Amino acid sequence: MIPIKNNKVDSKTKKTLFSIFVVVAVDVFAFAVVLPILPFYAQTFGATPFQVGLLLTSFAFCQFLSGPALGRISDVIGRKPVLFLSQVGTLIGFIIMAKAPSLSILLLARVIDGITAGNLSVAQAAISDVTRPEDRAKAFGIIGIAFGLGFFLGPALSGYLSQFGYEYPAWLAAGLSFFSIVLTLFVLPETIPAKSPLRQFKLKDFFRVLDFQVLKKSLSDPVLRSLLFQFFLFNLSFTMYISGFPLFAERQLTWNGKTFGSVEVGYVYTFVGFLGIFVQGYLLGKLVKLWGEKKLSRIGFTSQGLGFLLVGYVFKIPLLLLAAAVSSFGSGVVRPAITSLISRSADPKEQGLVLGLGQSFTAIAAIVAPLISGLLINYGYLHAWSLASGAFALLALFI
């Protein structure tokens, strides 16, 4: 761990955290450019809402398989090389997406991106490497700020470019992904020194992830298991909302007499991104100090659940923005609070693995959620989609 002097983060740590922030912000920017247009892009190839759900699930399923392995590998060989390889896979996926002539090729693009999708968990592990346990909720907030910034800028640009063709946002995402690779190579420092005890593993330990022994050890801890389940419910709720909202909005909302499309959805995501920047950039540190991570996570789950419950019953833009604000506050504080608690409960030698395991729980949620959303919306159960999204967040309160 990089030292922290006089209870303040030293300049080297600040530089490292800023580098991680910039890399993640560019990655999220690229992701946020693609996300709003993907359902509409798939529909140009004749995809049904359920098939759109399958498209989103394919990415998540591949991420589920690769997440712990990528995290474990980063524990051994370092964060930087694994992050680089992950970003290269993302770049290839975006290029194939931009050139896709059919739904099957679009599916291939998402599979490639999913197999190499270790960006976020490796970045979180790097943050854990350089911060004290009690400082991690605030430090993980920089991931949230990066998400907010990416969703503030990405969807607006995506909505504008999609008017000229859905391949243009994909090319922009590919360019941003290439830029993030350059940043990783030349700006991001390695957070695990070559002589660190964390990297003193034997070859047999390196492959232990393959027989799930280390995963079994992690899941045997009741506190960690409970936190991972809460994290799963958070992601199940959030992913149901984020994957279903474009199709929901297309069917229920209008703007100036026009049905919601990729442009309008992009603007809503931009609003949500702005709120994310405010909550995690300004409020989070104060709220952690005031309430602590456990209480803050409960407040966040309540806010997220109520916001998602409300959105299914809105037909006017002001009420939609109110629901988005309530849910965004909840999502904005839950993710860093729960991630910090998971990191603090993990063995320091297995930060990458455990946070990769958290990403796999995220991926399981992302496998299930789009399918549920796609089925409900496909058969016109818009209110049920909203109720389910909110109910999963509220269920986490009972864990």
Res. 8: pLDDT tops 70: no
Res. 236: pLDDT tops 90: yes
Res. 1: pLDDT tops 70: no
Q: Each residue of 335-375: pLDDT tens digit?
A: 888 888 887 877 766 666 677 677 777 778 878 888 898 88
Res. 214: pLDDT tops 60: no
Res. 55: pLDDT tops 80: yes
**pLDDT band per the 50, 70, 90 thresholds, residue 95:** very high
> What span, in angstroms and rounded, lies between the C-alpha atoms of 145 and 139?
10
Stretch among 15-29, 194-208, 285-299 having the lowest mean pLDDT: 194-208
Res. 279: pLDDT tops 70: yes
> What span, in angstroms and rounded, lies between the C-alpha atoms of 34 and 47?
17
Stretch among 80-94, 121-135, 231-245, 293-307 having the lowest mean pLDDT: 121-135
**Which of 76-80, 241-245, 273-277 is modeled with the greatest confidence?**
241-245
**Which of 6-20, 26-40, 244-258 is modeled with the greatest confidence?**
244-258
Res. 203: pLDDT tops 60: no
Res. 7: pLDDT tops 60: no
Over residues 52-60, mean pLDDT: 81
**Is the overall model pTM greater than 0.75, yes or no?**
no
Res. 3: pLDDT tops 60: no
Over residues 182-202, mean pLDDT: 70
pLDDT score recorded for residue 238: 92
DSSP letters, 19-80, are HHHHHHHHHHHHHHHHTTTHHHHHHTTT--HHHHHHHHHHHHHHHHHHHHHHHHHHHHH-HH
The fraction of the chain above a pLDDT of 70, given in percent, is 87
> What span, in angstroms and rounded, lies between the C-alpha atoms of 251 and 266?
16
**Which architecture characterizes domain 11-187+221-394 according to CATH?**
Up-down Bundle (1.20)
**pLDDT band per the 50, 70, 90 thresholds, residue 143:** confident
pLDDT score recorded for residue 216: 65
Structure-derived torsion over alpha carbons of residues 271, 275, 276, 281, reported in degrees to the nearest 10: 140
> What span, in angstroms and rounded, lies between the C-alpha atoms of 230 and 374?
23
pLDDT score recorded for residue 225: 85
> What span, in angstroms and rounded, lies between the C-alpha atoms of 200 and 204?
12
pLDDT score recorded for residue 348: 67
Over residues 122-151, mean pLDDT: 76
Residue 259 phi/psi, 5-degree rounding, is: -60, 140
pLDDT score recorded for residue 212: 53
Res. 162: pLDDT tops 50: yes
Q: Nearest CA to 138 among 371, 6, 370, 296?
A: 296
